[in-house]
Amino acid sequence: MRSGFASVVGRPNVGKSTLVNALVGQKVAITTPVPGTTRHAIRGVLHRPADEEGGEDAQVVFVDTPGLHKPQSVLGTRMNEVAREQLGGVDLVIFLVDAAAGIGRGDAYVAGLLADAPVPVLAAANKVDRLSRAAQLPALAALDALGDFEEVVPISAAAGEGLDTLTELILARLPEGPPYFPPEMASDQPLERVLAEIIREKAIVRMREEVPHSVAVVVEEVGPGESEGVTAVHAVLYVERQSQRGIVIGHQGRVLGDIGRAAREELELVLGSRVWLDLRVKLMKEWQRDPKALQRLGY
Ligand SMILES: Nc1nc2c(ncn2[C@@H]2O[C@H](COP(=O)(O)OP(=O)(O)OP(=O)(O)O)[C@@H](O)[C@H]2O)c(=O)[nH]1
Ligand SMILES: [Mg+2]
């Protein structure tokens, strides 16, 4: 069988997590319109059995990474490190850009880092569903000019365009190898992390400006609830400043209530049971700038 690891890297918000979810065929990473959403390296596994026409079994472990950016906090620096660590120890790298937003300096910076990558790089221009065919060509040319890539392909992670082609290009570059994950595993993330990320996603999309970046979620306990068939999830949503507490809770607790309801719906799907969500808001002053706090929060 063929198997291997493929990292997805790029500047924030280009659609890396959306792409990994689409390639894996299920949600393994949260996605939001806010740049800087992904904070960990998240492995998502595509299990592909040999098809009828022959071929062989394959397993691709995609690695979603934080967007590479100019850091403004210890967290930002840590996120960049996490992404850069995933340029090594993999079989290939997928360099993703947002073709609809235009290819710019942030992309050129990432391309510069990839120039030293010891593995083949496939470049993909994402979000082409937002571009006319005529507008795709200059975008692809601009991407091609950024480096020495094995291939440059147009895709839409959200609309599913070009993903079969991209998958074939990836599979063709994987070595013979063993399966790295058992067939039932789609992600390497521990359950508590998966649940915390879902809650964070629901919070981020209800926040503005700097608040999404100040939110961290820790799931402290998952266990049987008080009534039969209910799972109790105890979670803490951390903010950095006293003023953010009020924003997250909202007038008469409405914002927190909305976050909790949206999160609970998805937690129930993941856990396959009814969920009682105990979600508390706590202040951890300036945690983004505090290495000890980062460690406590799992970053
Ligand atoms: N129109 C369109 N939108 C897309 C596409 N792919 C992703 N998006 C949107 O782009 C936004 C960012 O997507 P993410 O997948 O979270 O981006 P990311 O690169 O993982 O971002 P960070 O984790 O912040 O670095 C979301 O609103 C997605 O819905 C696409 O192919 N077409
Ligand atoms: Mg992401």
Atom of ligand 1 nearest to the CA of 13: 21
Centroid of ligand 2 to alpha carbon of 180 (angstroms): 23
User: 128 and 245 share a domain?
Assistant: no
Q: Which residue among 106, 141, 171 closes a domain?
A: 171
Q: Is residue 113 part of a domain?
A: yes
* 160 shares a domain with 20: yes
Residues of the chain with pLDDT under 70: 52-54
Q: What pLDDT is recorded for position 118? A: 87
Closest listed ligand to the CA of 128? 1
Same domain, 233 and 160: no
pLDDT computed for residue 219 by the predictor:
98
- Protein residue whose Cα sits closest to atom 6 of ligand 1: 15
- CATH number, position 57: 3.40.50.300
Is the pTM higher than 0.95?
A: yes
At 116 the pLDDT is 82
Pick the ligand that lies closest to the CA of residue 15: 1
Does residue 257 form part of some domain? yes
Domain contains 181: no
Q: What is the CATH number of the domain that holds 283?
A: 3.30.300.20
The Å distance, Cα 145 to ligand 1 centre, comes to 23
Closest CA to 87 of 60, 120, 61: 120
Ligand 1: atom nearest CA of 67 is 25
- Tens-place pLDDT, residues 65-94: 999 999 999 999 999 999 999 999 999 999
* pLDDT 10s digits, 250-268: 999 999 999 999 999 999 9
Per-residue model confidence (pLDDT) at position 117: 85
Of 107, 142, 171, the last residue of a domain is 171
Structure confidence at residue 111 (pLDDT): 98
Calculate how far, in angstroms, residue 15's C-alpha sits from the geometric centre of ligand 1. 3
Residues 151, 211 within the same domain = no
Residues with CB under 6 A from ligand 1: 12-18, 31-33, 35-38, 66-67, 126-127, 129-130, 156-159
Within-domain flag for 288: yes
My answer on whether 23 and 88 are in the same domain is: yes
| pLDDT value, residue 55 | 78
Residues 103 and 145 in one domain: yes
What is the distance in A from the centroid of ligand 1 to the CA of 31? 6
Residue 29 and residue 151 share a domain: yes
| CA of residue 4 to ligand 1 center, whole Å | 24
In a domain, 178, yes or no: no
Could you tell me if 131 and 94 lie in one domain? yes
In this structure, the answer to whether residues 126 and 250 fall within a common structural domain is no
CA 221 / ligand 2 centre spacing (Å): 25
Task: Give the residue, out of 18, 19, 68, with the most ligand 1 atoms within 8 A of its beta carbon, to mutate for a pocket test.
Answer: 18
Q: Would you state the structure tokens that stand for residue 281, as one six-digit string?
A: 């808001």
Which residue segment(s) compose the domain that 217 sits in?
A: 191-296
**Whether residue 129 sits in one domain with residue 17:** yes
Flag whether 185 is in a domain.
Answer: no
Tell me which of 8, 9, 13, 79 to substitute to probe ligand 1's pocket, judged by most ligand atoms within 8 Å of the beta carbon: 13
Report the number of distinct structural domains present in the chain: 2
Per the domain annotation, does 177 fall within a domain?
Answer: no
Q: Identify the nearest ligand to the CA of 125 by its number.
A: 1
Residue 221 located in a structural domain: yes
Ligand with smallest separation from the Cα of 127:
1
Q: Which of 137, 171, 205 is the last residue of a domain?
A: 171
* Domain co-membership, 28 together with 144: yes
Residue 200 and residue 154 share a domain:
no
Query: Best substitution site from 28, 31, 155, 205 to test ligand 1's pocket, by max atoms within 8 Å of Cβ?
Result: 31
